[in-house]
Structure 1
């Protein structure tokens, strides 16, 4: 790290010093990510698992534990804001791609009621179980403990969340994005996330003593209006323009990509303003264009590689850098963490499985749906980071919830691959 320490004498300005730090960080993250993903693929995991694990190894759980000075100097706080921006842009673009990849109309057919049923059961039961069990977990926390109500609400939300980006990556990498089960799960998870982010916003305001039912009603109404506008106004106009432009240019030109990005970022900005976070806006535009398969193929050819190989590893790795899984205190802490995992897995799996069976899914498909809906990963980390910043999720519980989120991802990949092994399509190696 001597080079970084003396960067100000080797380059001509503070800007160049910042650029050098950023470049070194990107190099380390990308190299570590590729090495770790090669290893985890041999263990039956997907790239997303390797990207998360690479972040953990570079953070306080490994590098920071063994070489704290190197870790601090390598990932200097001066670049943290830039990394957050890069990570969020990557996530928005990933959500756009996920929306385009899933063949909802073809695969779901008349099963839209199944999506709603699985989504609601997979949201309500975990929330109730989390809320009822939270007082016991609250008593196990180290003093000083946060206010009980705020802790209960955030703990309940953390039990309810599902990670669309992680599920999308798993399905795409396993060659399963074409299946009806994948479409049902992603549709259910999308509803879960929209409701979950609204719930998170409401809970945040309750904790801050600013909640208003008028606020919630306004947000729900505005989001409904926006979804209608996307599918009945933006979608037909954008599809017609894309068809004409691609035919005229004979492909996807740079001006066309620029226009799509403008629409995408506008959508992300609007949904963020409406209180359901920017990634939902990206997903909605992708879903609106999913049946234009020529555009999807061209986009995947020209734009997706940069997103998948650069921006996404930054998001997954940088989030892992903020996680310290060595913070648990002794065997009792591990036991409490195990119980958190049991409550999270049991309630989410139970709700999704029972709802799937109730709407006529086979036992195997219901098992698959239950496993998929348990995938929380980094969407969970967003929730608990908000709770941590607000002071209602203390550090020991924060660590337990991080472990629960990561375990759900590592367990889900092989189980999904095994349960759906007869439905795979061959996917290109990355």
Structure 2
């Protein structure tokens, strides 16, 4: 196969070859995702687990191992930039939907202090455990020349991240998004990840020797100001306009969808420029509009299916393509990987569980909160990819952290379903 070999033989052929290559990739990803999803559904997992696993199957851990030439030709680097763009847009839209889906105020009531405490405990304990255990892991690496300080900081941040998009998908697919526990978890995870992204930005600058406390203070002040603008300026103006437009047209019109997309993408651009990444901007706008349940339902009917069926599988699959399980070397490598799991799961689950018990949550709900906060998935992959690109997370540790993220995700669905089985609604109603 040489899809790009004759790309410049005729006017416009290079573009057409690129489009053809991209279309073939999309077809393969969607077919693989549907097949794997059917299989994992029978094993009690949600669709998101199948989408992640499909990426691993198509990547160097399976297809690349068995048929390296086909894998290289199929997922040619020429389309990687397009894939990153599609994946990030899909993730922003998903975060927007997650923000709209959860009825925070109604479900949490007076428990906002609980959200903050669970979030901080689920962040500080794993960060500390990761930072102080990192030297031992650094000594076990195949490439111990990796800078120790940079490795410690990135390892600590990787222990701290919670995967909001994955939790949102799991709760929605299990029919649990209406519950108070779901709202508490998503609220805690949102605070957790905002602080985590700030930490990531600070750590990146420390590694690059550009950090200053003035920078951190400026970022925090600007983010706080932007949150106030979204909730006290954008929300009332956009909410009133949407309500009038829906009443006038009898539904969600194309101009209304366009306006919402413009606001959403602008918000994502602003938060990205403030150092907390674009997905937080999507989440903030969704949270600001979540009270208008009519708009939420209309958006889910008209826009969400495209996001769920096309853009999100691209994000999950493309990320899986970058993971190579074969990078772990021998039994000792497997043992070190096991220790990574122990530190990650023990600190994250333990911190969230103890905090939930401290604020008066029943044991079953506290266990659920601990399991949920331990779910890292592809938010974790974003962090470790940045560390890998900066040269402070070597390939073998990168693979171990990927495994940690995936194991935490596959554990989450059956455990959440079991712990919250009495609160489930039919998915169509949820």
Gaps of 5+ in 1: none
- The answer as to whether partners of 2:153 and 2:203 remain within 8 angstroms in 1 is yes
| 1:10 CA drift (Å) | 9.6
Give distance in 2, aligned partners of 1:175 and 1:389. Answer: 38
Give distance in 2, aligned partners of 1:291 and 1:93. Answer: 18
Partner of 2:249: 249
Partner of 1:274: 274
Partner of 1:108: 108
| 1:325 CA drift (Å) | 1.0
Matched, 1:368 2:368: yes
- The answer as to whether partners of 1:119 and 1:352 remain within 8 angstroms in 2 is yes
TM superposition score normalised by structure 2: 0.98
- The answer as to whether partners of 1:151 and 1:393 remain within 8 angstroms in 2 is yes
Give distance in 1, aligned partners of 2:136 and 2:2. Answer: 49
Give distance in 2, aligned partners of 1:148 and 1:317. Answer: 32
Give distance in 2, aligned partners of 1:395 and 1:11. Answer: 41
Partner of 2:97: 97
Corresponding residue SS for 1:326: helix
TM superposition score normalised by structure 1: 0.98
Give distance in 1, aligned partners of 2:400 and 2:207. Answer: 21
| 1:4 CA drift (Å) | 6.4
Gaps of 5+ in 2: none
Give distance in 2, aligned partners of 1:322 and 1:26. Answer: 16
Structure 1, residues 351-402: CA drift from partner, whole Å, max 9, x if none?
0000000001000000000000000000000000000000000001001000
| 1:17 CA drift (Å) | 0.3
Corresponding residue SS for 2:325: coil
Give distance in 2, aligned partners of 1:265 and 1:308. Answer: 18
Structure 1, residues 220-247: CA drift from partner, whole Å, max 9, x if none?
0000000011111110111100000111
- The answer as to whether partners of 2:2 and 2:73 remain within 8 angstroms in 1 is no
Structure 1 segments of 4 or more deviating over 3 A?
1-12
Partner of 1:427: 427
- Distance change in 2, residues 1:334/1:293 (3 Å): same
Match runs of 1:78-157 below 5 Å: 78-157=78-157
Partner of 1:172: 172
- Distance change in 2, residues 1:179/1:384 (3 Å): same
Partner of 1:389: 389
- The answer as to whether partners of 2:44 and 2:414 remain within 8 angstroms in 1 is yes
Give distance in 2, aligned partners of 1:148 and 1:3. Answer: 43
Deviates more, 1:235-244 or 1:7-16: 7-16
| 1:143 CA drift (Å) | 2.9
Matched, 1:181 2:216: no
Match runs of 1:29-428 below 5 Å: 29-428=29-428
What is the count of residue pairs matched by the alignment? Answer: 429
- The answer as to whether partners of 1:4 and 1:73 remain within 8 angstroms in 2 is no
| 1:13 CA drift (Å) | 1.1
